[in-house]
Chain A
Amino acid sequence: SQQGEEDPQALSIQEGENATMNCSYKTSINNLQWYRQNSGRGLVHLILIRSNEREKHSGRLRVTLDTSKKSSSLLITASRAADTASYFCATINTNAGKSTFGDGTTLTVKP
């Protein structure tokens, strides 16, 4: 299976609820990044967590990284309809400069 796999593939919640998305990867990484993509658009960087960090916050976003389990999670608190988008994790391989993206989680936040 692919490096940087997100789980679940699709998530539908009500406005105000929290949304949690998970990402698993296979190889050693320098860091892990989360991106957001609105329908039919390019990706926008949300947050980067380095391999020596365990948790990072940015506004309503909270990212965790567990290198022993090769997994990361993205939590969006108090979701809004405007958070509706696809979310991707990207891993940066230790030995290469390129990123590997997963298939993404499609989040729908209903007003």
Chain B
Amino acid sequence: DVKVTQSSRYLVKRTGEKVFLECVQDMDHENMFWYRQDPGLGLRLIYFSYDVKMKEKGDIPEGYSVSREKKERFSLILESASTNQTSMYLCASRPGGQGGHEQFFGPGTRLTVL
């Protein structure tokens, strides 16, 4: 069974704090993704990575950075959290190739920034 885990289900942080969201997958997938999900806006891609130490900007990378030091782990970093980053964050992984495979999602982290 493919498993994608995220470090926290719920997280509350203060404005200006540095926030780390961790994602781990156990199926040796090359591709990993970070999305945020907001009502009325669907899922929006923040960053993705197709290999260790490789990263690509998604549609809304501003205010975020990522790290992929190991194949199984993809971290999303909010350098200085702001209230407009309150959202549901979803991590996903997928095998390599041009996209002919399903994505496997983690359970999500609901982040609240006060």
Contacts and interface: CB of A to CB of B under 8 A. Distances in A.
Contact count band on A: 20 to 34
A43 B6 CA distance: 13
Given A88-B42, A98-B58, A42 B102 contact: no
B105 A104 contact: no
A23 B107 CA distance: 24
B40 A103 contact: yes
Contacts of B35: 101
B99 A30 contact: yes
B104 interface: yes
Interface string A29-49: 011010100001111110010
Contacts of B27: none
A73 B110 CA distance: 30
B108 A42 contact: yes
B43 A88 contact: yes
Contacts of B101: 48
A98 B45 contact: yes
A40 B108 contact: yes
A43 B50 contact: no
Contacts of B31: 97
Identify whether the interface residues of A are mostly helix, strand, loop, or mixed: strand
Contacts, number: 70
A27 interface: no
B50 A101 contact: no
A12 interface: no
A4 to B, nearest CB: 8
Nearest to A92: B99
Given A97-B31, A103-B40, A43 B105 contact: yes
Interface of B: 4, 31, 33, 35, 40-45, 48, 50, 56, 58, 88, 90, 92, 97-108, 110
Interface of A: 2, 4, 30-31, 33, 35, 40-45, 48, 50, 88, 90, 92-93, 96-104
Given A30-B99, A35-B105, 7 more contacts: A31-B100, A33-B102, A33-B103, A40-B108, A40-B110, A97-B99, A98-B45
Top 5 closest pairs, chain A to chain B, by CB: A42-B105, A92-B99, A45-B102, A103-B42, A101-B43
